[in-house]
Chain A
């Protein structure tokens, strides 16, 4: 079925558009295969609104005159469009039939599941070409950059056909002394084949963060020698490593009944296991839904608001993610031990914790490029199932399947770190907001599919553009820079007291609060910083002046002497 066959009515005139902060507008509405287009009818300087259909999370229609005469004068319908970036729009459409047609076209087209029919495969801006490298980094590159690894670690390509672990990239970094055969056995012992792989090597002490999925010990406490050897090789003679299990001890026990489990003390004697409970899946998705609902009702009293905020538990998730990341950093940086992080599948909270820990530890991941590379390695290549997790956002009425806003949670945590260390990150809130939007609906192929394998099969790298590369184009990157950036080599330990964490108003109240004052204040900061740069650009001027003065000093001395004489 061609995409265009879904479109029952392509064009409607005299539509009224209502959106936050703006007066209502009348204009023409068009539905295309991938977009909803609204343009007002003033010919010159006409104003347009273009929304990716994929961005539409829910659509609600109310039709007047439903049982009356069809096409009667004055019959009209209202469509409320709720987007995944939390924007809510209303369209008043004259004519009941048109209204229903538009609504059903949008519904059909916004829930397409075939990857290759999605817009990134059709997005062809004139300033970008499809040839050329795709993406910013790879396992091999990370290995090349990290000199500390060369001694004891190697790049293994045992997964080059994705047969050992379908959700891993083709190359992974492993201890030199463990050969590929052992890895294959270890992979069989881990859920989804996600055997322990290196995620980060600390530049200061060479300690590493590994990540994996849970071991399949099952009810009768199976063990796997190769898996044990692999972990032994990771700590290489040092006394201790930490396993941070992102489930409570009780949950980990229960997992054994369904074939999962945990690393028992007797078989992994040099590893100390710590359990931290993290909510996952549906619970987190429902948190988002509740939070967005609380934010979109401005009539709440203070008490009601606080109670709804608490009830959503969103900030509790932020709190536990940051605390566990802090714990990992504590192990690596302060105690000087290596860490293995895993939960159950190792595709969600595991990535959240390991990437947050890197942001806190590693100055390189706090630049724009470094942060995007981190996301690429730790989320996209590491196999976070973006397509499943981000199929719907907070408004959808569809029955939830695998949706879970873990990536949004990561962005929120990064925002919290930025609030506490406003000078330490090279990027600003704007980048996080952009990513929060792109992950749900995008012109680019970066967040398509669930794994490298799927992206390969769909030809994503050949047929779409890469978001990260386009964000790094100098003119674009500039919008996302933090004017106050001052790099620091140190770990930036965030405070995790509840008093130190805040609601991310920039995201959740983006469309409900008129943030103009904040925007102006931000501009003021920029102008002060720019002035500083000019003045100190500055330094050059100063230096030139100083050199002039230096050459003059002998004269000056001479003159002084003369005066004395």
Chain B
């Protein structure tokens, strides 16, 4: 299988630049190694990350191959011989459509850990402990074993929490009246006001059907909260979509049949609209020599930020109802695994500072997305090639969180790199967490025995994802985030959607610089301490030397090494390697160059990448060597 093709050209997406190198095709990766020995960059592309491969028509310099990845990387190779190109093309086509789960990378990935370490990794996140942290079970809410065997709802977890007064017949009856059997269950409990956030799917009400058990179920949720006489039922769909569903025997709750509910539509569009919107967004921002006007018009026409705002609005509504009114809220959409997951997760994050920490955010994803059956396999196109099921629902959630980190720079323990890294691995199929569509399926696949957990991996390098501005006291003063939803707060997330287009990124990063300062603070302190002990050993009085600063509370973090983008501390090559080592884990890291010292460039900061103008074109001829050889425009800098 190991294909090697030499003299392959890699074209830059936004400029006329290209580099030549060798292309390797392995069982798991497509690897491009630049031949220039001084700055030999390598690009590693995991087969699972490839969304599409396209062979363009033959040109004089060779056969172009265009590869689009799910992590928004786009590479454009030109392969000298048509036959080689075709070989690579057809091999890739075969490789990027695995037919069974066993072919996924997670089942062959081995980070050199023993079984015990792997098990410990899987035990890091414990949802029972999470519900306990929220104060559940309690006098109003209990754990039910009704779904122990996945008999009532195949896509729910085994353990679900319901009101004490909801008996098993009520639960079973209600589940029969709900799409895919997804009856109302607890997902977040706001202890302070005893208000609950519950989730379910749409009722099978059609035009007039009723279900007494379902009505009892909502009644039970309402009664479990003494602070409020009513509960909110949030249908996260646009009203029109819900109405249309009635014709198919589904629909929404009729306020006349359910006592004490306040019904509310929110208007988040469905998966198909979202898929189309992202498509348009990417087309817009992937255009060469994009003008400001086209960029803004493209942004507007894609509707992407409008959808992000709709999700944010819904989450804010949820958080207000719970924290201000003290009312319980039941959230649903159609099946209750896309929009419902977005709104419940984002709403909980607004209400509870714990979810804004690194560990807490993992718990939140594990709870609202993984355990409640967001269909990761379908939405992220892991296995079954049904393009109608693919949709960037989870990406939108990550983006909403990013928009919040922009508004509240001190509220989150993690930086955007954490979000981007999670996004990377949702699609990489390298870890077991996101495989499959439901907990039941994951158990059938024996993921915990056969694969590794992403959370353990991320926690082991959590210093890379820290936000240096995070302030625990901010959480105390702002337990509930109240973001502004004015239009100008919604920004394009360049570091996600153009993450591999280096020439676009800021050349120096405040984040990384401050992290480095923090680290160096720690180191200096260490040195001072060491010297001091040494002196004391020899009986020298050190007191006059010292105005010793007290140690900082968050003592970490060392320099971020594997941040995906523009780490100004490392040369580009090193960054590239770091990034690729992510994929390989420990074993590849051993020969990584020491990241300190040496020269560094002001990242990507050269005229050639910026295409300021038509200097070349304006001459009208190609034999102007002074203008064509450009490399020493790259600014060099020594740390």
- Chain A residues at the B interface, C-beta cutoff of 8 Å: 272, 274, 276, 295, 298, 300-307, 309-310, 313, 315-316, 318-319, 323-324, 326-327, 329-331, 333-336, 419-424, 484, 488-503, 505, 509, 512-514, 517-518, 520-521, 524-525, 528-529, 531-532, 534-536, 538, 541-542, 544-546, 548-549, 552, 555-556
Contact of A301 among B487, B509, B521 (CB under 8 A): B487
Q: Judging by beta carbons under 8 Å apart, are A298 and B486 in contact?
A: yes
Interface size on B, residues (CB 8 A): 87
Question: Which 6 A-B pairs give the minimum distances between C-beta atoms?
Answer: A305-B487, A326-B612, A498-B295, A490-B635, A310-B296, A521-B409
Contact of B506 among A422, A498, A534, A535 (CB under 8 A): A422
Contact of B521 among A303, A419, A535 (CB under 8 A): A535
CB proximity of B130 to chain A, nearest CB, Å: 28
Q: Judging by beta carbons under 8 Å apart, are A529 and B636 in contact?
A: no
Is B228 in contact with chain A by the CB < 8 A criterion?
no
Q: Judging by beta carbons under 8 Å apart, are A327 and B510 in contact?
A: no
A535 partner residues in chain B, CB cutoff 8 A? 520-521, 524-525, 528, 549
Known contacts: A298-B486, A509-B488, A536-B524. The answer to whether A310 contacts B610 by CB under 8 A is: no
Is B415 in contact with chain A by the CB < 8 A criterion?
no
18 A-B pairs with C-beta separation under 8 A: A274-B613, A302-B306, A302-B490, A310-B296, A315-B296, A484-B510, A489-B637, A490-B635, A491-B605, A499-B492, A501-B292, A517-B410, A518-B409, A521-B409, A536-B520, A541-B546, A548-B540, A552-B538
Q: Judging by beta carbons under 8 Å apart, are B607 and A319 in contact?
A: no
Interface residues of B in 124-177 (CB under 8 A from A): none
Q: Judging by beta carbons under 8 Å apart, are A541 and B545 in contact?
A: yes
Chain A residue at minimum C-beta to C-beta distance from B470: A524
CB proximity of B547 to chain A, nearest CB, Å: 8
Q: Judging by beta carbons under 8 Å apart, are B615 and A274 in contact?
A: yes
Which of B111-119, B576-584, B625-633 touches A?
Answer: B625-633
Q: Judging by beta carbons under 8 Å apart, are B614 and A306 in contact?
A: no
CA–CA, A518 to B489, complex, Å? 13
B309 partner residues in chain A, CB cutoff 8 A? 302
Known contacts: A517-B410, A529-B517. The answer to whether A546 contacts B531 by CB under 8 A is: yes
Contact of A493 among B508, B518, B607 (CB under 8 A): B607
Contact of B607 among A318, A334, A524, A556 (CB under 8 A): A334
CA–CA, A424 to B637, complex, Å? 12
Chain B 10-39: CB-based contact to A (< 8 A → 1; otherwise 0)? 000010000000000000000000000000
CA–CA, A548 to B291, complex, Å? 62
B525 partner residues in chain A, CB cutoff 8 A? 535
Q: Judging by beta carbons under 8 Å apart, are B607 and A495 in contact?
A: no
Chain B residue at minimum C-beta to C-beta distance from A301: B487
CA–CA, A540 to B534, complex, Å? 18
Contact of A302 among B290, B305, B471, B538 (CB under 8 A): B305
B552 partner residues in chain A, CB cutoff 8 A? 531
The A-B contact count (CB < 8 A) is 239
Q: Judging by beta carbons under 8 Å apart, are B602 and A532 in contact?
A: no
Q: Judging by beta carbons under 8 Å apart, are B487 and A528 in contact?
A: no
CB proximity of A203 to chain B, nearest CB, Å: 15
Interface residues of B in 535-552 (CB under 8 A from A): 535, 538, 540, 542, 545-547, 549, 552
A330 partner residues in chain B, CB cutoff 8 A? 607, 612-613, 615, 633
Q: Judging by beta carbons under 8 Å apart, are B488 and A545 in contact?
A: no
Is B469 in contact with chain A by the CB < 8 A criterion?
yes
B509 partner residues in chain A, CB cutoff 8 A? 422
Known contacts: A422-B510, A528-B468. The answer to whether A324 contacts B632 by CB under 8 A is: no
Contact of A327 among B306, B542, B613, B635 (CB under 8 A): B613
- A sample of 20 more A-B contacts (CB under 8 A), given A335-B615, A546-B531, A556-B538, is A300-B487, A302-B305, A306-B305, A318-B292, A319-B291, A324-B612, A334-B607, A420-B508, A421-B602, A422-B508, A423-B513, A488-B602, A492-B507, A493-B607, A493-B633, A496-B612, A497-B504, A499-B494, A513-B488, A545-B542
Q: Judging by beta carbons under 8 Å apart, are A490 and B498 in contact?
A: no
CA–CA, A243 to B295, complex, Å? 30
Is B59 in contact with chain A by the CB < 8 A criterion?
no
B488 partner residues in chain A, CB cutoff 8 A? 295, 305, 503, 505, 509, 513
CA–CA, A495 to B502, complex, Å? 10
CA–CA, A276 to B615, complex, Å? 11
CA–CA, A298 to B490, complex, Å? 13
CB proximity of B463 to chain A, nearest CB, Å: 16
Is B299 in contact with chain A by the CB < 8 A criterion?
yes
B297 partner residues in chain A, CB cutoff 8 A? 307, 310
CB proximity of A326 to chain B, nearest CB, Å: 4
Is B263 in contact with chain A by the CB < 8 A criterion?
no
CA–CA, A506 to B409, complex, Å? 15
Chain A residue at minimum C-beta to C-beta distance from B491: A502
Q: Judging by beta carbons under 8 Å apart, are A307 and B508 in contact?
A: no
Chain B residue at minimum C-beta to C-beta distance from A333: B633
Is B211 in contact with chain A by the CB < 8 A criterion?
no
Q: Judging by beta carbons under 8 Å apart, are B610 and A495 in contact?
A: yes
A498 partner residues in chain B, CB cutoff 8 A? 290-292, 294-296
CA–CA, A528 to B520, complex, Å? 11
Chain A residue at minimum C-beta to C-beta distance from B633: A334
A505 partner residues in chain B, CB cutoff 8 A? 488
Q: Judging by beta carbons under 8 Å apart, are B514 and A495 in contact?
A: no
CB proximity of B535 to chain A, nearest CB, Å: 6
CB proximity of B266 to chain A, nearest CB, Å: 15
